[in-house]
Structure 1
């Protein structure tokens, strides 16, 4: 008997801030797996992608962020046999205070690092690619 593919969907964002004309990216270290990545989580019933991303960022970091128009990246991978996961990432910045209050149950550490150094800290190739997309987007658009 053939197993059916289970599909999962999560949403999150690359969260950045400007400090002394430098762009810093927020990285979080997940307790589950111990990898450095970005805030994200599963879509709940009735939520759209934006709502999920905003909720998960708030839950994991305590930050209220503004998501940028025009940046939406989708990554797919297989975390387990017969499970296909899609993660949709946006790009956002704190709307006010950028003090992180991490969700201790899920996040063991966090760090604001220079955007140019971030790809050396993240664990997965997909995340390195997302950082490069964010660099391209921000280089073209200096709005925030």
Structure 2
């Protein structure tokens, strides 16, 4: 598997050569903990998510990606925001693709299933707000989670 390298506001970052709509999902359980994955491509913690496939809606992609990466079934409940900051690029070394960030971040509630590791997630666990601070993650992912906790009246457009 190739590596994923995130760059944020880095003058030495490679130039973006693609833009792929994707989704991230803030799945909460009954205790208010958030479902987090430890990515196998960069070893950072992140919300579950991935590219939106042709023929599926944003919500369908969110449910599919969450199930594929974590084993958890969920139901979409809302929108945190839309993130398309051109200062954030993601380099996939396997094919030399460099994507400009374009992620729609949704909220969801856990409906069934137990978290378990997958080919995309070496660890999957429920994480409380306090414990979240100790996890290693990219700055863009941390911003998305912070925006979720801010509980804004309207979605973030960043």
With normalisation by structure 2, the TM-score equals 0.72
Which of 140, 147, 151 lines up with 1:126 in the alignment? 140
Higher helix share: 1
Q: Hey, which bits of structure 1, 4+ residues long, moved more than 4 A? A: none
Query: Does the C-alpha gap of structure 1 residues 121 and 82 become closer, same or farther in structure 2, counting only changes over 3 Å?
Result: closer
2:67 is the counterpart of 1:58:
yes
User: Does the 8 Å contact 2:80/2:147 carry over to 1?
Assistant: no
Question: What's the CA shift string for 1:107-129, capped at 9, x where partnerless?
Answer: 10122111233143141122222
Q: Distance in 2 between matches of 1:49 and 1:13?
A: 11
Query: Does the C-alpha gap of structure 1 residues 14 and 119 become closer, same or farther in structure 2, counting only changes over 3 Å?
Result: farther
Alignment of 1:7-18 (within 5 A): 7-18=19-30
With normalisation by structure 1, the TM-score equals 0.78
Deviates more, 1:76-85 or 1:28-37: 76-85
Tell me the equivalent position of 2:116.
Answer: 101
Tell me the equivalent position of 1:142.
Answer: none
User: Does the 8 Å contact 1:10/1:43 carry over to 2?
Assistant: yes
Tell me the equivalent position of 1:74.
Answer: 82
Query: Does the C-alpha gap of structure 1 residues 66 and 75 become closer, same or farther in structure 2, counting only changes over 3 Å?
Result: same
Gaps of 5+ in 2: 1-14, 92-96, 153-158
Question: What's the CA shift string for 1:50-73, capped at 9, x where partnerless?
Answer: 11111100111111111113x232
